[in-house]
Structure 1
Amino acid sequence: MTDFLNDLNSIIWSNPLVYLCLGVGVYFSIRSRFLQIRHVPEMIRVMRHGESSPDGVSSFQALMISLAGRVGTGNIAGVATAIAFGGPGALFWMWAMAFLGASTSFVECTLGQIYKTRDPLTNEYRGGPAYYFSKALAHTKAAPFFKVYGLVFAAVTVLACGLLLPSVQSNSMAIAMSQAWGIADWAVAVGVVIVLAFVIIGGVKRIATFATIVVPFMAVLYILFALVVVFTNASQIPDVLRLIFASAFGIDSVFGSVVGAAVMWGVKRGIYSNEAGQGTGPHAAAAAEVSHPAKQGFVQAFAVYVDTLFVCSATGFLIISTGAYRVFEGESADGAVIAEGGLLPGGTDVGPTFVQIGFDSMWSGAGSTFVAVSLAFFCLTTIIAYYYMAETNLRFLMGKASTIYIGPLRSTLGANLTMLLQALILVSVAIGCVSTASEAWTLGDIGVGLMAWLNIIGILILQQPAFKALRDYEKQKKEGKDPIFDPVALGIVGATFWESYGRADDTREAATLAK
């Protein structure tokens, strides 16, 4: 089974997917006239001024749900893995993926807002790739194909976010806590399952509240502490930058043999970390209460920057500047060591331990504890976000059948399957704690890769409404308006939520005028 999963992973994460991710990022950047540069001020403004409602969360809360999914073990263990198997140059390609991926994230998250709907059980906003795949071309002859395409994506997402991806997060938590405090894996599993059960059973509002409190605090704290270590080694910064760029392009002869691996691991871990193009961001984006879909597209594009340019960069600079890295040949820890920083003891496992040893170089003992605590919060929020995405796609798969009452307790089919999903994700977390890192990451990469293939191909086909929304938003802003979305006026078909949303606004306005 292990060999089969490794072979499957190598097929999914072959060069075509890497080139597709980079190429789509370049194309969307050009078509949007590099919105990731032009609209940074607007990204920040929209994030600060968003509003919530009984049915939707604020733009900031949606950003926090999204960052909860993005900021996790990929920002710590993932960066260490990328450097170990791709050299320091992998960090450059993570930056490149973030810059280009911001435009990809805008497209997919704007589509998520355009084609969102209401949950028949909770009345909360739901959306994501499965929704826009099934709704965007529902009026065309291609409707049956894209309906099936949406169902396939939804099923893959339930599998990935409900079973494959959570184990990676819990595995890194268990490794970090064992390194810091010697806690047994099974004890970590019990503690995490108890905390997660409390949060995820509370629904999207509790998830948003939890993420809004935890994510900003831990992300800022982690970046600050990492920067303290980096600037303590300030004399190393020029050498660190030289090493990153030389390794990325094979200028340094030592890393000439891993240039291809640097691109592969930089893109792979970049997507794993910031999730641009993977199709996870649109789920959080759709939950937001905004007057125009492009607003949440901007916010989610900014989330890519926060994740990679801030958090991942802090980790990468920490590892390289302290010498807490080791680079292996053949993209495997079993390969020959071709370079190392000199700080790691022999036999150190690839993963969060690199970062813990880097912190320990300044705060002996305390560094391991800080990373373990950081990972605990990052990974918990990421698993919670995974659950939200899995639940959203489960709702899509069930459709109106979710409201059917079954069983002796007369509970709905949706409620029963939701409880089953909650149990599945808790089991996945427990298994991840006691699995090896290699097994956990292989399963996680398979989940990310499958979602990325389906989503990127899909948004290439369905991109037009997102760019119509962008142009409309820019036009209304130039006219001095707070943009309001009208899909009918833009010729966008299938945005049924926004059509009814507009009518509801007109009704309220007419009633007000009548009074």
Structure 2
Amino acid sequence: MQSWVDFINGIIWSPALIYLCLGAGLFYSITTRFMQVRHFGEMLRLLFSGQSSDKGISSFQALAVSLSGRVGTGNIAGVAAAIGFGGPGAVFWMWVVAFLGASTAYYESTLAQIYKEEDEGQFRGGPAYFIEKAMGQKWYAWIFAIATIIACGLLLPGVQSNSIGNAVAAAFGPGEMIETTLGTFSSAKIISGAIVCLVLAIIIFGGVKRIAHFTQIIVPFMALGYIVMAFVVILLNIDMVPHVFATIVGDAFTPMAGVGAAIGWGVKRGVYSNEAGQGTGPHAAAAAQVDHPAQQGFVQAFSIYIDTLLVCSATAFMIIITGAFNVHGAEGAFLIQNLPADIAANSPVFTQMAIETAMPGLGKPFVAIALFFFSFTTILAYYYIAETNVAYIHRTIHVPGLIFVLKLVLLASVFYGAVKTADLAWAMGDVGVGLMAWLNIIGILIIFFMAKPALKALKDYEAQKKAGVTEYVFDPVKLGIKGADYWEERLKRKGQKAPDLGEASSSSGTAKTTP
């Protein structure tokens, strides 16, 4: 099974996907004139603006739901894997992916807002929806929807629960070994898997509103607590900070594990962690209640900074500062070995050992608790994403009970992942991430060259902001954007009219307005 999954991974995560992720981020950064820098202040302002409604959630709730997907085991075990297989220089390439990926996140999330729909009293949207409406290729949208249901409903949840099981076993001991039909597993992993499934079932059977309310409380709390812990570890070793920076930047260009390994693992784990371009973030973005699609695009772009530049960097600094890592070379050899050889790089143990080194007795249980919240909220986000794509398929073919089946499959995947080996769980997760990234990035690039809807939305928003409007209005017809049915109906229903801003907000930059 492991060799078969690794073979598939080798095809999906070829250098072509690495360069596609970096190239798309650079392309959108240039075409949006580096909006992730120019509009940083606006991102912060919009973060806490907007209110939820009966049909949609607030911008902050949407940020929390998407962050619950972005901030997960990839921020702890994923960063460890990037360092363990790519060397410290991989962290630099994670930063590059985050900076460039913020513009990709803006673009895909704005598309999700433009082409969202109302479905049974709530907003739905995501790549499947905007691929169908903006590209006009329903078959391609269906492929994405099916791939996403498989990835988020079956493959990815096991990665998160696997890290929970491993962290609990490392912190409190594996307990007794129990024989089952699936193999021999530790009682600690079985119990932790059962508890996660029980709490998860209570929430996912309550719908998207319950998921949003849960994540908006837990996500800020867990991220802040983790960053504070990292800050304490860094302060205790403050004299090492310049050395850590020099190690990360120096190894990025003369990497000990090879240029390909550093860039490859940095990009792979960067994409896995912040999900820019993967197509997961747009699902939560579409559910937000906003006055203009670009607003949620800004908020989602900011989430990339929170995920990688704050949380992932916190993990990397703790690991490198304390030297709690190994770097694997070719054919099982170690380029650096500071820890026992049997410690898997694809696990949270590097991070646990780092905190343990600085604060003995605290590292293992703290990371176990942090991983529970990080991974649990990510599983919630995966369920919501899979459910949204099932709802998309229901628009054409209604299969009674499909949502219920999805919930059962996801719960089974979570339990199975909690007791399985880390390498297999991560490999299966990488297959899911890679498939979605390929389909989504190609889709949004085609849409850009067909109509540039997200870029038009950005220019329109900038024009209205420059004009000092008190209430932003989005008129897709005026901008030459087709298929944005919700926004067209919203304008008619509210009796609004887009402000006359002249050429700045026209669809092509050449349209004239009458005095």
Q: Percent identity?
A: 55
**1:367 shift after superposition:** 1.2
1:31-110 correspondence runs (5 A): 31-110=31-110
**Aligned position for 1:487:** 476
- 1:176 maps onto 2:167 in alignment: yes
Deviations 1:348-370 (A, max 9, x none): 22220010011111221211111
Alpha-carbon distance between aligned partners in 2 of 1:70 and 1:304, rounded to the nearest angstrom: 8
Q: TM-score, normalised by structure 1?
A: 0.91
**Aligned position for 1:364:** 360
Contact 1:180–1:365, Cα closer than 8 Å, also in 2: no
**Aligned position for 1:478:** 466
SS in 1 for 2:395: helix
| One of 335, 340, 349 as aligned partner of 2:344 | 349
SS in 2 for 1:489: coil
SS in 2 for 1:277: coil
**1:48 shift after superposition:** 1.3
Alpha-carbon distance between aligned partners in 1 of 2:344 and 2:11, rounded to the nearest angstrom: 25
Equivalent residue letter for 1:103: S
Equivalent residue letter for 1:380: F
1:132-211 correspondence runs (5 A): 132-137=130-135, 143=136, 146-183=137-174, 184-211=188-215
Alpha-carbon distance between aligned partners in 2 of 1:226 and 1:131, rounded to the nearest angstrom: 39
| One of 475, 490, 497 as aligned partner of 2:486 | 497
Alpha-carbon distance between aligned partners in 2 of 1:452 and 1:359, rounded to the nearest angstrom: 33
Note the residue ranges of structure 2 that are not aligned, 5 or more in a row.
Answer: 175-187, 498-515
Deviates more, 1:215-224 or 1:46-55: 46-55
Equivalent residue letter for 2:303: A
Contact 1:104–1:276, Cα closer than 8 Å, also in 2: yes
Deviations 1:155-184 (A, max 9, x none): 000000000000000000000000001252
Note the residue ranges of structure 1 that are not aligned, 5 or more in a row.
Answer: 138-142, 403-412, 509-515
**1:347 shift after superposition:** 2.3
**Aligned position for 1:409:** none
Corresponding pairs, count: 479
Alpha-carbon distance between aligned partners in 2 of 1:92 and 1:507, rounded to the nearest angstrom: 47
SS in 1 for 2:477: helix
**Aligned position for 1:451:** 436
Alpha-carbon distance between aligned partners in 2 of 1:335 and 1:31, rounded to the nearest angstrom: 43
Contact 2:87–2:256, Cα closer than 8 Å, also in 1: no
Deviations 1:78-136 (A, max 9, x none): 000000000000000000000000000000000000000011xx311000000000011
SS in 2 for 1:118: strand
Alpha-carbon distance between aligned partners in 1 of 2:490 and 2:205, rounded to the nearest angstrom: 29
Alpha-carbon distance between aligned partners in 1 of 2:384 and 2:363, rounded to the nearest angstrom: 32
Contact 1:114–1:498, Cα closer than 8 Å, also in 2: yes
| One of 123, 126, 130 as aligned partner of 1:125 | 123
**1:345 shift after superposition:** 3.7
Equivalent residue letter for 1:116: K
| One of 418, 426, 429 as aligned partner of 1:441 | 426
- 1:337 maps onto 2:334 in alignment: yes
Contact 1:486–1:499, Cα closer than 8 Å, also in 2: yes
**Aligned position for 2:308:** 308
| One of 438, 450, 453 as aligned partner of 1:465 | 453
- 1:221 maps onto 2:225 in alignment: yes
**Aligned position for 2:180:** none
**Aligned position for 2:513:** none
Equivalent residue letter for 1:347: D
Change (3 A) 1:499 1:389: same
Give the structure with the larger helix fraction: 1
Alpha-carbon distance between aligned partners in 2 of 1:228 and 1:363, rounded to the nearest angstrom: 9
Deviations 1:210-263 (A, max 9, x none): 00010000000000101110121111111111111111100xxxx444221000
Equivalent residue letter for 2:474: F
- 1:373 maps onto 2:377 in alignment: no
Superposed CA RMSD: 1.3
- 1:391 maps onto 2:384 in alignment: no
Deviations 1:472-493 (A, max 9, x none): 0000000001321110110100
Contact 2:86–2:257, Cα closer than 8 Å, also in 1: no
Equivalent residue letter for 2:443: G
Equivalent residue letter for 2:486: F
SS in 1 for 2:332: coil
Alpha-carbon distance between aligned partners in 1 of 2:126 and 2:341, rounded to the nearest angstrom: 45
**1:346 shift after superposition:** 4.3
**Aligned position for 2:112:** 112
Contact 2:87–2:257, Cα closer than 8 Å, also in 1: no
Deviations 1:261-313 (A, max 9, x none): 00000000000000000000100000000010000000000000000000000
Runs of 4+ in 1 over 3 A off after TM superposition: none
Equivalent residue letter for 1:72: G
Contact 1:131–1:396, Cα closer than 8 Å, also in 2: yes
